[in-house]
Structure 1
Amino acid sequence: MANHDETRTTFSIDGGAGSISYTLAEISEAGTNLGRLAQLMEPLADRLEGEWLWLCQVSSGTAPYPYAALDAMRAALWSFRRAQADTVELASKATQAGANYAATEARNAGLSAQLGRLAALRDGLATWGLGSLAPWKVAFDAAGKVQHGNKHGIRDASEKFLNDGSAYLAGLLGPGMAVPYLLAQLRQQDGRNAGGAPAFALRKLFDATGLAIPGRLEVRQVPVQEWRPAGIPTGRGAASPTLGEPVEMKAGIHGMLAGSSDAYGYPPGSISVVEILRPDGTIAWVVHLPGTEDWSTVDSSNPFDMEGNMEALTAAAHQRFEQEQIVVQELIRTALQAAGASTEQEVLISGHSGGGIHAAAAAASPAFLGDVNVTMVVIAGAPARNQHVPPGIAVLDLQNEHDIVTAADFGAPPAAANWVTVTSHRPGTMEGQAPGAVMAQAHSVTNYLQDAAALDSSSDPSVVAMRERLGVFLGVGIGAGATIHGVKTVYQGRDVNNSNNSAPQGTRASKAAKQPEKGADYSPGSR
């Protein structure tokens, strides 16, 4: 759905309340409830049958024999059994509806992607056939792609290039490469994980070349004076160097994403943990993650580096790499434990860019969910499509039509009942701007914060449902105007490369996390 207005930012929204997947999820839930109803009907049917048999027995030999009454009771029993069987059948069909639709959608998406690749292969072959004029045709095609991206969105154009570029190149290299590529397309491919394969291959390359070295996590709690700039109000009460900082934040999408924006201002490799006391006396936790902070080396001491990004993108296959531990997930788990969170208390994770990948990867990890009760994720500018988050966890995914970073997962996230993707269309983005500036602004956390503020007053049913879910999580009910009080602590993680071979590389023993103590510290070392 899109709201058209040339004077302000508009949004396209997929998934969530009102979507087909959401409706089918409700139908599937209704099917489950019907199945329970059919089970509850079984004792009643047995009782009715027992009463009928008893009446038949005690009426034997009586005069006059109550034929009409017994026949009516038998008819009622048969009708009840028929209703029970119909309920079971209806429950089965309703439960299957969502699964059947998902399978059909996946099959159609796979077919559409395959047709796109075949079209690109054909174009590549046609270009190869031009001989010496081929370079001019390649330049013409590239210019057309750029123009299409400028008009319809750089993100979508980039995703199409990532999906179809290899087919075009195979055709461009001639029949010798085109035929094997064509034969490879005969195999059925899982389009849901299209972006996972390149990340997997790149991380394997990092392992093979030694660019990524297995290590361990060290954590310290950052004193308040290191992460709260002078002049910023402390909120309620006085700041404590060991117990954290009382904070206030708005109970809305902007408030959740603002915490991830603030995380960029902490010491490198730091995340914040906010403890929230709900009105009913229960406690919830919000974890804010920054994006990629270190681009200088593949494997730095900062967990939010290229190695960290690859760990998040390949989290589902983490046991197939030299380092099995996902450092940022261990940092989140350790920070929550140090802050006093229990495994049953609800947790929301927010993140921008690489932090968004980590947030979704953590919410998709059965092992992580065994220790941390994640119930909601709010991310922006993150290529998280290949993270298969369970249906019970709500995901609000903010993207922009020109954000090339969000194209790194090779496609759009699923339009699922629990996953709402909001794509912003900001006015005047392309006017007088170089492509690099356009993409930088598209990915800017500051601009995503403006999108989040607009969504806090959106009337779209999917966004409203997510705000309601957020309100329930924070304990304030419906509405984004409430102010939440909490206590924030900041923890800095450091990815320390193993300096000895006392434990086999790649084992869990060589990567056990060092639990933080209150006020614990470590030498930052070189970054």
Structure 2
Amino acid sequence: MVSSPDGRLAPADTVTVYGGSGPSSVDLDSVRWAAALVTGAADDLRAAAVHCLGVSGDLVVPGAGRAEAAWWLPAEAVAEAVARARALEAAAQDVARRLIASADRCDLLGWRLLRAAGLYDEAESTAERVVGALVTAGAFGVGAAFGGLGWAGLAGVGALGGAGAAGQAAGGALTGGASQAATGQLGAAAARGLAPFSDEAVTGLGAGVALAQPGPAQGRSGVTGGAGVLAHVARELPVLGNDDHGVRVTRLGAEDFADGTVPAWSRTGARSVGEALSRIDSLYPQQGGAPAGTVAVQRLTGSDGAVSWTVLIPGTQSALPAEHPLDGRTDVELVAGQADGATAAVERALVDSGVGPGEPVTFVGHSLGGIAAAALVSRAGFAERYRVAGLVTAGSPTGPLATPPGVPVLHLETPEEIVSHADGRSASENPRTPDRVTVVRSLRDSASAADRAASGSVVQAHAVTTHVRTLDLAIGLGDPRVTEVAGRIGSRLDGTAVSTTFYRTERTGR
């Protein structure tokens, strides 16, 4: 497929990269100047094509249409001259076509250079800014109103996300009958239209809740304060849970999985970041038959005897507080920066696995799993106890977390999944350092039918497979920022001897 500034884009052209080293440090004025030069070259090529077409029209074919004009030439010579003239005419027209094609490619290159320089982001329309401000203000009002209603109102705010996720997961079951298709189309259109403003909505909602409940917010404002209030509700209401953060981890055997076998990849290392990420699907009960709350710790031994580790952490498996810590309560605790059960469980798994202090550990997490991994890596003292080799998150709101310098970090996001915006930040607002790269893909702008379908479903847009495709496209583009950080992380994911331990994580207070 070919990208066009006026139409939908080839899937690879929906990828935008932030952070890392390399192109991001280039002077943007130089990039814009290069775009202007390439665009000028396109104009010159089209002018040359016009001249070629003019030359082809000026060619004189001896004897063509006037046999008497060439009576003095042998018939064979006339035929040869006519053939040569027509060949020259065809060649001139072919050159003209090639010049026009080259001009089109130069135009596209110039457009891509401008996009790479961030001109489209900088040229955000006034209408979009106004809509974003209105969404923030409206969500703030909703958050303040619900927060002002006390426990019942706060429970309602907390239910908003869970209800949306449940509705998406249920597909069209809730719409029923003949209206299902129409409702699905309306829902898809709404998802595509509202996705770019989901970060503003979360920002306003969180700020409103925090303002209405300053006590549980502990004096913090914005999304962090609002999440703190919701975490307080989740812990204090008896019907939802309790204030206990105790967790335990239990080793799992093949008999604990639905089909009586552990995932086939358990004895092999991952050959790439994408392969490691794709394995997380096996840790979800619906996809891989693993018990709820399962995480995996893989031990890899290289040909030189060096040991490294990979930790795979799936996402939320229950909107309401559950017997395991991969639930909605942990989600809001992580966003609030509070103590949580998921990070505690992963730390227990690391201890039980016998990870040594000098052995590299790579964390790969999806959704809640990505937030938990980023929170652990960013936590004071953790990097002193463990040698963090890399961090990969997919569909995780991790913008406020500061990862240690020197640790390669790769974030994968799509606006349509909304989950990545639960910190109130878009992908462009994530920290940008030489070690930290964010890859974001706009599914709704893609010419791919699969991408377009996913853009209208939070579940599909948030799926592990969607984020793996985003990574594959980014690497296929050859962007040095992506290939460099993915290469650094990927070098630790394989080994000659491999074993995997699966852990069930559970809360001890339920």
TM-score grouping bracket, smaller chain normalisation: 0.5 to 0.7
Partner of 2:468: 449
Partner of 1:267: 291
Structure (1 or 2) with the greater helix fraction: 2
CA distance in 1, matches of 2:261, 2:505: 26
Partner of 2:276: 256
Partner of 1:221: 251
Partner of 1:204: 232
In the TM superposition, what is the alpha-carbon distance from 1:454 to its structure 2 partner?
3.3
Matching of residue 343 in structure 1 with residue 362 in structure 2: no
Aligned pairs for 1:313-462 (under 5 A) are 313-315=335-337, 318=338, 324=339, 326-412=340-426, 413-426=430-443, 427-428=448-449, 437-462=456-481
Aligned pairs for 1:440-519 (under 5 A) are 440-474=459-493, 486-497=498-509
* One-letter amino acid matched to 2:252: V
SS in 2 for 1:464: helix
Partner of 1:13: 17
SS in 1 for 2:295: strand
CA distance in 2, matches of 1:361, 1:22: 31
Cα distance change on mapping 1:207 and 1:349 into 2, 3 Å = same
SS in 1 for 2:416: coil
Matching of residue 162 in structure 1 with residue 202 in structure 2: yes
Q: Contact between 1:287 and 1:348, CA under 8 Å: does it hold in 2?
A: yes
Cα distance change on mapping 1:464 and 1:214 into 2, 3 Å = same
- After superposition, what is the alpha-carbon deviation per residue over 1:434-461, rounded to whole angstroms, capped at 9, x for unaligned? x8x5222111122223333334434001
Among residues 316, 335, 339, which one is paired with 1:292 in the alignment? 316
Partner of 2:327: 305
CA distance in 1, matches of 2:399, 2:438: 10
Q: Contact between 1:15 and 1:416, CA under 8 Å: does it hold in 2?
A: yes
Cα distance change on mapping 1:121 and 1:255 into 2, 3 Å = closer
Normalised by the length of structure 2, the TM-score is 0.57
In the TM superposition, what is the alpha-carbon distance from 1:337 to its structure 2 partner?
1.9
Q: Contact between 2:310 and 2:363, CA under 8 Å: does it hold in 1?
A: yes
* One-letter amino acid matched to 1:16: G
Q: Contact between 1:156 and 1:401, CA under 8 Å: does it hold in 2?
A: yes
* One-letter amino acid matched to 1:276: L
* One-letter amino acid matched to 1:6: L
SS in 1 for 2:476: coil
CA distance in 1, matches of 2:133, 2:269: 50
Q: Contact between 2:394 and 2:412, CA under 8 Å: does it hold in 1?
A: yes
- After superposition, what is the alpha-carbon deviation per residue over 1:340-388, rounded to whole angstroms, capped at 9, x for unaligned? 2112211111111111111111111114334332231111111111222
Q: Contact between 2:316 and 2:331, CA under 8 Å: does it hold in 1?
A: yes
Normalised by the length of structure 1, the TM-score is 0.56
Q: Contact between 1:382 and 1:399, CA under 8 Å: does it hold in 2?
A: yes
* One-letter amino acid matched to 1:214: D
CA distance in 2, matches of 1:15, 1:327: 31
CA distance in 1, matches of 2:496, 2:478: 22
* One-letter amino acid matched to 1:380: A
In the TM superposition, what is the alpha-carbon distance from 1:486 to its structure 2 partner?
1.6
CA distance in 1, matches of 2:380, 2:137: 43
Aligned pairs for 1:3-152 (under 5 A) are 6-9=9-12, 10-18=14-22, 20=24, 120=134
CA distance in 1, matches of 2:205, 2:457: 23
In the TM superposition, what is the alpha-carbon distance from 1:428 to its structure 2 partner?
3.6
In the TM superposition, what is the alpha-carbon distance from 1:166 to its structure 2 partner?
8.7
SS in 1 for 2:249: strand
In the TM superposition, what is the alpha-carbon distance from 1:195 to its structure 2 partner?
2.9
CA distance in 2, matches of 1:488, 1:121: 46
* One-letter amino acid matched to 2:460: Q
SS in 1 for 2:282: helix
CA distance in 2, matches of 1:208, 1:370: 34
**Which ranges of structure 2 fall in alignment gaps of 5 or more residues?**
28-121, 139-185, 213-218
Cα distance change on mapping 1:338 and 1:233 into 2, 3 Å = closer
**Which ranges of structure 1 fall in alignment gaps of 5 or more residues?**
24-107, 125-145, 171-179, 182-188, 236-244, 319-323, 476-482, 499-527
Q: Contact between 1:117 and 1:163, CA under 8 Å: does it hold in 2?
A: no
Q: Contact between 1:346 and 1:375, CA under 8 Å: does it hold in 2?
A: yes
CA distance in 1, matches of 2:228, 2:491: 37
Cα distance change on mapping 1:464 and 1:262 into 2, 3 Å = same
CA distance in 1, matches of 2:472, 2:368: 21
CA distance in 2, matches of 1:403, 1:461: 26
- Report the RMSD for the aligned CA atoms in angstroms: 4.0
CA distance in 2, matches of 1:432, 1:225: 37
How many residue pairs align between the two structures?
Answer: 339
Q: Contact between 1:304 and 1:354, CA under 8 Å: does it hold in 2?
A: yes
CA distance in 1, matches of 2:407, 2:500: 23
Q: Contact between 2:362 and 2:391, CA under 8 Å: does it hold in 1?
A: yes
Q: Contact between 1:19 and 1:417, CA under 8 Å: does it hold in 2?
A: no
In the TM superposition, what is the alpha-carbon distance from 1:313 to its structure 2 partner?
1.8
SS in 2 for 1:275: strand
Percent of residue pairs bearing the same amino acid type: 23
Q: Contact between 2:132 and 2:200, CA under 8 Å: does it hold in 1?
A: no
* One-letter amino acid matched to 2:298: V
In the TM superposition, what is the alpha-carbon distance from 1:116 to its structure 2 partner?
7.3
* One-letter amino acid matched to 2:405: P
* One-letter amino acid matched to 1:399: E
